[in-house]
Amino acid sequence: MRFFKRIMKTIFMKTIVSAASAQKAKVKPEIPTLTHILSEFNDCVDLVHRYYPEVNVHLVYFDHQVDHDKLYREVMNPLIHVHAEEEVPKLLEQSQFTLVRDSKELVEGILSGRVAIFSNSKTYLVDVFGLQSRSVSQSESETVITGPHDAFTEQAGINLSLIRQRIKSSHLKVIKLSVGEVTKTDVYILYIKDIANMTYVNEAIRRISNIEIDAVFDTNMLLQFIDDAPFSIFPQFLTSERPEAIASKLVAGRIVGIVDGSPSALSAPTSFFEYFSSSDDYNQRWMLGSASRLLRFLALFITLSFTSLYVSVTTFHYEMIPENLLITLTESRSKVPFPPLFEALFMEVTIELLREAGARLPSKIGQTIGIVGGIVIGQAAVQAGLTSNILIIAVASSAIASFVTPAYVMSASIRFLRFGLIILAGVWGNFGLAVGISAIVIHLSGLTSLGSSYLTPIAPFKPRDWKDVFIIAPFKYITERPSQSKSPNTVKNKMRK
């Protein structure tokens, strides 16, 4: 153990030293040379090196990172029309060519899809980036019935443009950060000036720049590095694939993060209740929107309590069963050989297996899984006397209820918590249930998201927010931004500069 620690320490020391030396190098920029670049990218077969002897110009770029049309239009075509070496500097004065004096910058430029131009001991970069990427399509994980259907893609540029399209304001600011020692993933922090609270912006920037990791591939991975409470089961940043949802968060004064290579954007600060809202709510009549939102909170209650109540009641609190149900329930239990706790855990695990299998399989086979799982296993389990049919109803309804939660991360957390509650209920009945719920509440009340309370607007108590959290009031009554974003401009319809 101790030995291991020592090794870790030396490794860490080394990385710190190397980081320090890199900083030193920054002070004295290395003059970029072609030979240096070619040796840097040694063994990269996808690197293209072109030479135009008539004008003595070298081009270096990654073949699959550039848009060939653009390359031809911007670089090659002008170069072909140049006849003498002396005319080249004049051509390179055009604004798309940027002069580079630092070798490191040049390497990064080539890596991110630019073309390096070596001419006459000077080096230029030109942006002809053209990655083949997935086109904008529907979101798979967050679907709505009414409302826009486009979703973010894996490319940050497209995602940014999707947001810019929706917020045509010069106040929408974008800050670029880079995360990952090796991957150098671009992370963009978006906020609307004068609406977002700068404390949150600065806090987010601070946390992201403090990340020390070799690679980050997805938003959901990134935000685990910047969580307030990494041990918590609850997500502390809202993620969404829907541009209009993210745009609405921006306008509400929250800040947004986009990670290059990930189709989901994060938004913070967030509260527990935000995970239960969907853009669909706003696109319907307000009463229907409110009803479906309340339904989701009911679903939360059902998910957490149904199976555990079944276990608690059938194990300890028989007197809670209404007379008409008593006989049916006892009858269905009479063939089951296990205590209710194991019976319930068995069914819950089965459901989780089905869900996991359904998620991993292509959607066409997924349907078969649904039929096999739902009908065959469910029916057979009851007939074989492994479970009672009332339990199947309880488990199934609580599973369905858990999928009502629009945010997948949250519904997964809640489903996980359910197991804890079932065990507590199986051991200590209603007392265990009360203890479990108390524990959840205590945990939630300690949580923060970017330093602001996770339980807003219940605690801190902001009844004004309720009309946009538990219900949706008609829009003309929602005049203020959520209190959690602590916006300098709280009133929605008037912008104070």
Q: According to the binding rule CB under 8 A, does residue 308 interact with another protein?
A: no
Residues whose CB is less than 8 angstroms from the CB of residue 67 and which lie 6 or more positions away in sequence, other chains included: 128, 129, 130
Q: According to the binding rule CB under 8 A, does residue 439 interact with another protein?
A: yes
Q: According to the binding rule CB under 8 A, does residue 449 interact with another protein?
A: no
Q: According to the binding rule CB under 8 A, does residue 235 interact with another protein?
A: no
If the CB atoms of residues 41 and 428 are measured against another protein, the closer one turns out to be 428
Which stretch in 148-156, 173-181, 257-265, 428-436 sits in contact with another protein by CB under 8 A? 428-436
Q: According to the binding rule CB under 8 A, does residue 329 interact with another protein?
A: yes
Q: How far is the CB of 422 from another protein (least distance, A)?
A: 13
Q: How far is the CB of 375 from another protein (least distance, A)?
A: 23
Q: According to the binding rule CB under 8 A, does residue 4 interact with another protein?
A: no
Residues in contact with another protein, shown as a per-residue x/- string from 163 to 202 under the rule CB under 8 A: ------------------------------------x---
Q: How far is the CB of 454 from another protein (least distance, A)?
A: 9
Q: How far is the CB of 317 from another protein (least distance, A)?
A: 6
Residues whose CB is less than 8 angstroms from the CB of residue 24 and which lie 6 or more positions away in sequence, other chains included: none
Q: How far is the CB of 324 from another protein (least distance, A)?
A: 8
Which stretch in 6-14, 174-182, 241-249, 433-441 sits in contact with another protein by CB under 8 A? 433-441
Q: Judged by CB under 8 A, which of 318, 403, 475, 477 binds another protein? A: 318
Report the interface residues with another protein, using CB under 8 A. Answer: 199, 231-232, 314-323, 326-331, 333-336, 339-340, 423, 427-435, 437-439, 441-446, 451-453, 455, 458-461
